Chains A and B, each alone.
Chain A
Amino acid sequence: MANLIELRNIKKIFKKDAEQELLVLDNVSFSLKEGEILAIVGRSGSGKSTLLRIIAGLSKPSAGQALYQNEPITKPVPGISLVFQDFALMPWLTVLQNVELGLEALGVPRKERRQRALKAIDTIGLDGFESAFPKELSGGMQQRVGIARALVVEPEVLLMDEPFSSLDVLTADHLRSDLLDLWSDEKKKNNGILLVSHSIEEAILLADRIVVFGSNPGHVQAIVKVEIPHPRDETSPEFRKLVDRIYTLMTTEEKIIGKGKKEIDLGYRLPDAPISQLIGLIELIAEEQETDQAVDLPKIADELMLDIDDLLSLTEVLDILHLAKEAEGDIKLTEAGLQFEKADILLRKKIFATHLLMYVPLVRHIYNILNASHNQRVSKKHILTDLEEYLSKDDAQRVLRIIIEWGRYAELFAYDDSSEELNLENPE
């Protein structure tokens, strides 16, 4: 089968300033074949949305090539249309006008435009809503408009950027199956869908192949074929096996990079992990661990309805802090983790503080600076400058915010928002 989209050694670098650069995508190569549904799963920061923008012609790769029907993509091409996570509908246009918009831009005559738009609206089950404005519709209906708008221009390739993640479970389920029905329609046979997803289950449910993305920088870690016939049953053993396999792929990756041991440096891009969620997770693992030896991550994700991104962020931090060990899609509390779980609030803070100092270089760095400074304060800007040697501006901000939360909880340091200073104060 011919390739609709072909990516060759795509590399994307964001320039932060004259000197510093941030590698977001590295050496990404894969292709989307005719009639195929391809899903990309990966953690946040794996650059999957950036990749989608490159394919859509909204942003240019720093090196490598994205080809559409063997032609390099340099600007948005008519055959590729995009469905957005948050719908991106024009609030001042009716459903019909929104759907007609793309045709209008193509200069399709009025009568034909109307006809085609109405047809697209019909197929996606929006008939009756033509005259409604987006804000009158529920989220699920709005995304239907987003899909109708993308389909009406009869694209060869449909790019979908986490299209179901702002919808509730029930609505998302329903829309997913409708989309599948629509796609299995005879005449769409040769078109392809490229779906960026935040949910492993969703990817398996829809895709023919799944591209697993690794992060820091984003790269293709593995490509998994899904050979379960449609309609796929989420509870079937083969489905679950595949879920487990992808989980394993996504969690073992760090191991290879860290050579078996999780040693991180000052500029490590710590993921978002609010303290209350960390503690909640430790308690949950402890509870599960009473019956099982190791705890299955997919099971936890399911139970908590967390998407992988959030869950893996949490487990990664537990792993870094040596409070839990993750391996091959399982997780287990360490000795320290078990002690933490049993401890009262005060002791928990102590354990947390010790582990932070031992295993998170950034915390140690801040703590040392504070203790060395004569007035025991340091400006946030100072730390940010240090961090920006490794991270983008936004990421540095985010990481520091997380660190401050942890530091506060552990009572290692405090932060004064009005003077933007970190300090060692602790009001008694």
Chain B
Amino acid sequence: MASRGGSAHRANGSRDKICHFKLVLLGESGVGKSCLVLRFVKGEYSDHLEATIGAAFLTQTVNLDDTTVKFEIWDTAGQERYHSLAPMYYRGAQAAVVVYDISDGDTFVRAKNWVKELQRQASPSIVIALAGNKADLKDIRKVHIEDAQSYAEDNGLLFMETSAKSDQNVQELFLAIANKLPKSASGSPRTGTLEPNVSDRMRQQGNGGCCKS
């Protein structure tokens, strides 16, 4: 699925290209996927995000020099019983963030399996980033940074250790992904500002819904 293009005016009057990219979040339940994305999108973190109270679908833009990248972030179901459903989520994704918890070695093993699966089944041009989350828990680290770094290099992945709690490398991770995404592959630019999401549009239509018989 191709990314969609558009354009928007900056404050200085220059006209930027807007590129929409689908980004999926993968990783075992409890590694902090939702915290990471909430920190990126809303700049928030809460210790009370018990086993991920977060958000299932979110959008966020990143401004590059001449392009605005709009991420459409899809949170996937990470539980083992939903594993067979994952391909439906990453189908057509241009970017994926595979998250593990540096204080839990099993989640790193699982992350490697996700990477393997993406390389086998997702779009060949997908940009994959590996995020070692909970970097603030260095004292109880189970996954050495060198091991993850070397695995990422061997597999051509972007890699960063992140902490949603201390806001370490969160913006940097998404910025690195935005930079690596192929903007030239976008569809024909569409004039106008960012389109409202479907639910906003539904509200504009009134009567609280959108179904027409």
A and B interact: no
